[in-house]
Amino acid sequence: MNDFIQHKLCDGINFNVIKESRFKTGRISATMFLPLNEETVSANAILPFLLSKSCQEFPDFTSLNKHLNDLYGASIYAEVSKLGETQVLGLSASFLDDRYSLNKESISAKVTELLCKMIFEPLFDNGKFIQENVEQEKRQLIELIESEYNDKRIFAKNRCEQLMCQDEKFGINRFGTKSQVEALTPDDIYKAWDQILKRAKIELTLLGNSNENLALDVFKRAFGKIKRENVFSCNTEIIKEAKHIKENREEMDLAQSKLVMGFRTGAALQDHLVMPMRVAVALFGSTPHSKLFLNVREKFSLCYYCAARYDRNKGIMLVQSGVEKENIQKAKLEILNQLGDVQKGKFTDNDVDAIKKSLSNNYRTVGDYLSSLENFYISQTFDSERVTPLEFVKRINAVTKDQIVKAANLITLDTVYILVGEKG
Amino acid sequence: MTLKEIKSERIGDKYYTGNHDSGLRIFIYPKDGHHSTYAILGTKFGSINTSFFSTNNGEVVKLPDGIAHYLEHKLFESEDGDAFSKYAKTGASANAYTSFDMTCYLFSCTENFEESLKILLEFVQSPYFTPETVKKEQGIISQEIKMYDDDPSWRVMFNLYRAMFHKHPVKVEIAGTVQSISEINPENLYECYSNFYNLNNMALCVAGKVDPQEVLKIVDKIIKPINGTVPESYFPDDPYDIVRPRVEEKFPVSMPIFQLGFKEDASKGRPDIEESTQTDVILQVLASKASPLYRELLDQDLINESFGYEYFEGKGYAAVIFSGESKDPDKTASIIKEAIKKIHKDGISKEDFENAKKALYGRTLSILNSAENISNAILTLEFSNRELFAAIESVASVNLEDVNERLKSQLDIENCALSIISPESK
């Protein structure tokens, strides 16, 4: 299934092909990896947005979008995320496969060239990004940063992460702050662009039925003109154990209180306990058969959502829930109580079997979505080996009860964040 | 039962459909090379079906708001245990949702498909409600309602519906209110179930890795026909006019968010597939990123990537809605209205039409990538007497004259409402 073929273009740059003929669309993406730093975070973050709006061939936003419409509604996506303490910039396109165009047009080649031009031939005036365009993107990025306040579940989760990791790079917002964005100049952004092309680790990925040689040539030619320097190294600080519990409360005019608990798990990156930790966290709180769902939600009717999520790139686990103000304490204690049960091995072989089946199902389904496949492989960029979804399934199923208990006992509570709803 | 093949000559895809003796309609869309199977069983009963004509005496019966959604939660429990614990043995990932006009139960799996399909068909046919189990759900659903209460994008939407619709139940929140769900009990849940979970009112769709004959075998074995007829839902006539042109609410948000709705006459029935496509073309020309309107709003710093539009329509209601974040929703609304005035006056040009049509065609085809999207689309279309491949064909064959004709009856700038959620003063 879904063969993943990698060509090395030059130092730190790979061209990956996932050949699949059963989709109506294809994808091409450039994913750039950079160290997460206060100084550069916003200049980096604004780049994919700025680059996706124009290029020298299509200097005008409206004519660019007409061109994309003409390519059967091809879409360009700009994204910024974090992989541990690495800032990840994504510029990608999805497009209708050539076979399905109404007049036998070649879509994929044109989209690939366009994406390449966006990266390498941005719209400059006298060798600089244009002030007016920069200001437009700054405004939109600031609004994007501020909109994280609107969705209270996301807001509470971000606050918890931020408080928990305030002394680590991980506490930096993926876009930076409003004032950092406000201060950006076209020169700052040019510097970031230049550094990325010279020093970022870059994964180029083509998925679907398109001609990979054509795309490979396009990018080979483009990167051939760049003098690559030392590739940035990206590392993440892993704190294995919480020293003491931080608790933080804030109030807001809301109907429901949000409770987020941040834990250190002790298992991260390629640690041998990462697989057992995945099973332990799922058993604790990420499926309808988990302890949090069966008890905190179903048995005690305390909430609608109460779930645990594990981030192996930072080695942390977050539990998120929405509860009635007077039930905050009760929910918190019950969540810890359920974690205690996993740590004491209070679960059956059937429970483990159910969780393994559920996780296996998720990994076997990865291949049915181009974007899932891409994410699956991109998330392994810094690993020493590349594992297929089926190999993942094998490893999940090899996890023993002892390993689960051992992994669960590494979990320590670090930070409790409560957004108290003052309406209810 | 026999299955009929439905094929799209243009794309080369095909699926199978048939009517089971029980009344259940079945759709099976095999996808070669797929690892997973997606199955969805739906009934044409959603949050707007709260009033219906009794099949006994013809009188209108009113149910508590939010009962369809409550029933969805409770159906997961049968006398012999809950569905999630049964799925736990097969590894399927299961879920359910309630929309305005349907309730759907679904799962996705990569092995044990037969067993998972049995579980789905059995639990949806085995209602089991006791005062205790119904009561227990109140805490959970109250928290779900409050979660939505805290979601500004949800609030701005329902505030708009209430500003546009006088009586139509689409203005009522899907899960109801904490107050309305307290009136739900085993009796009214059973009443809902026996009236609307009639197989004649339901459809099953399976897509992905699937053998059609296998599905039929299981359906034959598990499906028990139910007697009785499906009552007709009652919808009060909603006048053409909106309720109020502007509604604003304060909430903890960083900048104002808005929805602007242009209400339409929905008294003559729902649009057909061609009309829906024509509207999609109109909106693409009017407000997509390639439009002069989008450009003007950007240049004036009035919108960002969150800007969007949709054609919101169902039985007895229809509106075109624009939405997004904006520092000045009133100004944004007036610029949108100016653009509508202009497009009404000038009509759509051949060039813009061809450009929009290609974009729509490509994006519509992308639905066929995923078994999940295919199944949901087939079910939604089936419940409004439409068909998936005809929908795709309608994009390929839409013509400019019809689009310009349709434009005349849409986007009445004298009949629109603006809903705003604005930041609390600090």
Do both A201 and A153 map to the same domain?
yes
Residues 279-308 of B with CB under 8 A from A: 284, 288-292, 294-295, 298, 301, 304-306
The CATH number assigned to the domain with range B246-423 reads 3.30.830.10
Do both A254 and A371 map to the same domain?
yes
Do A140 and B85 make contact, defined as CB atoms within 8 angstroms? no
Chain A residues lying within 8 Å of B35, measured CB to CB:
1, 364-365, 367-368
CATH of B4-222, one of 3.40.50.620, 3.40.80.10, 3.30.830.10, 3.30.420.480: 3.30.830.10
Do both A258 and A378 map to the same domain?
yes
Contact B100, B383 (CB under 8 A): no
Test mutation, A256, A305, A420, chain B, max B CBs within 10 A: A256
Question: Which of these, B97, B311, B294, lies nearest to A53 by C-alpha position?
Answer: B294
Chain A residues lying within 8 Å of B370, measured CB to CB:
368-369
Q: What is the pLDDT of residue B226?
A: 78
Shortest Cα–Cα distance, A172 to chain B (Å): 20
Distance CA A16, CA A8 (A): 9
Q: A241 lies in a domain?
A: no
Domain boundary among A224, A254, A270: A224
Q: Which two tokens stand for residue B308?
A: 């969007």
Distance CA A244, CA A415 (A): 9
Range of the domain at A10: 4-224
Does B384 contact A at CB distance below 8 Å?
A: no
Q: What is the pLDDT of residue B426?
A: 56
Distance CA B165, CA A210 (A): 48
Chain A residues lying within 8 Å of B290, measured CB to CB:
62, 65-66, 68-69
Q: Do the domains B4-222 and B246-423 sit in the same CATH topology, yes or no? A: yes
Do B369 and A24 make contact, defined as CB atoms within 8 angstroms? yes
Do both A148 and A250 map to the same domain?
no
Of A70, A252, A297, the CB nearest to B358: A70
Q: A333 lies in a domain?
A: yes
pLDDT digits over A261-283, tens only? 999 999 999 999 999 999 999 99
Chain A residues lying within 8 Å of B298, measured CB to CB:
61, 136
Confidence class for position B227, pLDDT limits 50, 70, 90 = confident
Domain boundary among A224, A255, A273: A224
DSSP letter assigned to residue A70 = H
Distance CA A196, CA A43 (A): 11
CA–chain centroid gap for A352, Å, is 28
- List Cα–Cα distances, B288 to A69, A382, B156, in angstroms: 10, 38, 22
Return the H-helix or E-strand segment holding A360.
helix A349-365
Helices (H), B247-304: 273-287, 292-299
| Phi, psi (degrees; rounded to nearest 5) at B27 | -130, 130
DSSP labels, A78-108: EEEEEETTEEEEEEEEEEE-GGG-TT----H
Shortest Cα–Cα distance, A236 to chain B (Å): 31
Report helix, strand or coil for B424: coil
pLDDT digits over B328-371, tens only? 999 999 999 999 999 999 999 999 999 999 999 999 999 999 99
pLDDT digits over B154-172, tens only? 999 999 999 999 999 999 9
pLDDT digits over B108-158, tens only? 999 999 999 999 999 999 999 999 999 999 999 999 999 999 999 999 999
Chain B residues lying within 8 Å of A252, measured CB to CB:
252
Test mutation, B258, B349, B358, B388, chain A, max A CBs within 10 A: B358
Mean pLDDT on B388-412:
98
Do B150 and A96 make contact, defined as CB atoms within 8 angstroms? no
Mean pLDDT on B307-324:
97
pLDDT one digit per residue (tens) for chain A, 424 residues: 568 999 999 999 999 999 999 999 999 999 999 999 999 999 999 999 999 999 999 999 999 999 999 999 999 999 999 999 999 999 999 999 999 998 888 999 999 999 999 999 999 999 999 999 999 999 999 999 999 999 999 999 999 999 999 999 999 999 999 999 999 999 999 999 999 999 999 999 999 999 999 999 999 999 999 999 999 999 999 999 999 999 999 999 999 999 999 999 999 999 999 999 999 999 999 999 999 999 999 999 999 999 999 999 999 999 999 999 999 999 999 999 999 999 999 999 999 999 999 999 999 999 999 999 999 999 999 999 999 999 999 999 999 999 999 999 999 999 999 999 987 4
Question: Which of these, B140, B109, B278, lies nearest to B210 by C-alpha position?
Answer: B109
Residues 191-230 of B with CB under 8 A from A: 208
Q: A230 lies in a domain?
A: no
Domain boundary among A224, A259, A286: A224
Do B361 and A73 make contact, defined as CB atoms within 8 angstroms? yes
* Catalytic-labelled residue, pool B5, B9, B59, B72: B72
ipTM value of the model?
0.95
Shortest Cα–Cα distance, A65 to chain B (Å): 5
Distance CA A189, CA A48 (A): 11
Do both A102 and A38 map to the same domain?
yes
Do both A192 and A323 map to the same domain?
no
Do both A11 and A110 map to the same domain?
yes
Of A305, A354, A367, the CB nearest to B35: A367
Of A1, A71, A96, the CB nearest to B35: A1
Quote the pTM value. 0.97
The separation between the first and the last C-alpha atoms of chain A, rounded to the nearest angstrom, is 51
**Cβ within 8 Å of residue A386, ≥6 positions away:** A4, A6, A377, A380
DSSP labels, B331-374: HHHHHHHHHHHHHHHH---HHHHHHHHHHHHHHHHGGGG-HHHH
Do A305 and B304 make contact, defined as CB atoms within 8 angstroms? no
Q: Among all chains, which residue has been given the structure tokens 């909603």?
A: B238
Q: How many domains are contained in chain A? A: 2
Q: How big is chain B by its Cα radius of gyration, in Å?
A: 23
DSSP letter assigned to residue B230 = P
Active site residue B191: no
At residue A417, what is the residue type? Y
Do B362 and A139 make contact, defined as CB atoms within 8 angstroms? no
Shortest Cα–Cα distance, A94 to chain B (Å): 10
- List Cα–Cα distances, A161 to A256, A262, A321, B61, in angstroms: 20, 7, 15, 50
Q: A161 lies in a domain?
A: yes
Do A94 and B84 make contact, defined as CB atoms within 8 angstroms? no
Question: Which of these, A423, A424, A395, A415, lies nearest to A159 by C-alpha position?
Answer: A415
For chain B, the domains span 4-222, 246-423
Report the CATH number that the domain containing residue A285 is assigned in CATH.
Answer: 3.30.830.10
